Structure 1
């Protein structure tokens, strides 16, 4: 073992040891800096409302501050949070919502909320002002997404059911390694009811090969070039990927729409394992 005592060998061993120590230190620093999610699945945590943007007469975007400018909410793609508020009688109400932001949006999260006249949680959002705190826990939900798990998604959304679709679509399209194609049919009553219209149009413009959106209105304005009436079986055939083991159809909307879409999809040959309802 005398060869280990030569100066050259000792120098080489010293360099090797130093490199191992540096590598381990770098890994530890990287791991320790990886942001930890702010959500707690068992307990409600409160987040401060820092901005409220009115988008229409009954729709607003609420921006909530996370503890630090580099904090992330920690919500897996396609999952939602449980939100707690007070109704008009002062009673607690809990309702699920899907943020329109991702963990790539650090330091804050946003909810786009449609407030209904008789909605119990809608009352809470109408009364919220900048500086108020909002109780949230999570993540919640059965949906799990891994990049490339399917060749294409077909999405059927109605009204505020667009928010989980928007979250999933953003995550796919903003990941340059994810080649999944997204086809969306989005139904509303009037043009003013379309949530995230500018954002969806932006995705269609920026990712023309990977994102297609078809808007459907019950009450279409003059010159409207989208669908008119309710979503039909023919619209699904024309704008969503055909039944195949490597595609999945997601749907989220009012109960009557979900029921009608389930019947159409079954008639078109989509197997149960190709379908998911938020």
Structure 2
């Protein structure tokens, strides 16, 4: 079956418009039409999918992710977790920012996805659930695709931060350390900078690059224990450190946090 035939086979059923306001189903895949695709860089694109009606919300709790189903380059089914960059307050649609890797099986599916095609989605999934005011401050440590929906760890951090900051009844502060290889690898930078400008007293972001450009004033190399000390809230019962990134980074960050005195209860890994 060609990709076009596969996409057409996933067209929305007749009862599409009869779905309830919250659109996700944790047990069954549902199909959502791609209505806009915007290329952000040579291998990153933003995909906007329509919900059944303008007042629909996806129904994804803060800190949860979805499972997406597609076809790889040889036509085999592949399922991978992602996290939208939008919140349930963004009615009528949801968006995914996807970094597509040359050998990625789901990357192939997104490279071939065109406006008018449908994406099969199931959820919500995930262990983390956020309640407003549950901590005084979050420290967040993300590496590469850890800040994006390239995996289930994705915008858990970006979406959690945005949900916290946009809630007028939530005074929680957020400190984000975001590590990448090069400047061009920093995804959602415009959105993150926007949060910094709107909420300067509640949101701080510190970028770390392994290969920084000239005149770079952020961190250089890998996220160190000293960087965590300088840019995350110190250990306390009313703080929590969220981390996500490649396995080697997660392991290194866990060791740093342990050495700095953050208990296991103060840490959460996506």
1:219 alignment counterpart: 211
Residue in structure 1 matched with residue 161 of structure 2 by the alignment: 169
Which residue of 2 is the match for residue 93 of structure 1?
A: 78
**5+ long unaligned stretches in structure 2:** 1-19, 148-154
Q: In the alignment, what sits opposite 2:152?
A: none
Of 236, 245, 256 in structure 2, the residue corresponding to residue 253 of structure 1 is 245
- Does 2:45 align with 1:57? no
Q: Distance in 2 between matches of 1:220 and 1:203?
A: 23
Stretches of 4+ aligned residues off by more than 4 angstroms: none
- How much does 1:89 deviate? 1.0
Give the equivalent residue in structure 2 for 1:145.
130
Provide the rounded CA distance (Å) in 2 between the counterparts of 1:158 and 1:136. 25
Aligned length: 244
Counterpart pick for 1:74 among 59, 63, 66: 59
**C-alpha separation in 2, matches of 1:258 and 1:231:** 11
SS of 1:139's partner is strand
Q: Specify the alignment match of 1:23 in structure 2.
A: none
2:103 is matched with 118
User: Secondary structure in 1 aligned to 2:178?
Assistant: strand
Q: Which whole-Å deviations, capped at 9, do the CAs of 1:176-221 have from their partners, x for residues lacking one?
A: 1100000000000001100100000000011000000000000000
Q: Deviations over 1:21-63 (max 9, x none)?
A: xxxxxxxxxxxxxx73100000000000000000011110000
User: Could you list the runs of 5+ residues in structure 1 that have no partner in the other structure?
Assistant: 1-34
Matching residue of 2:199: 207
What is the TM-score of this pair, normalised by structure 2?
0.89
Q: Which residue of 1 aligns with 2:28?
A: 43
Q: Normalising by structure 1, report the TM-score.
A: 0.87
Match of 2:268 in 1: 276
RMSD: 0.7
Match of residue 11 from structure 1: none
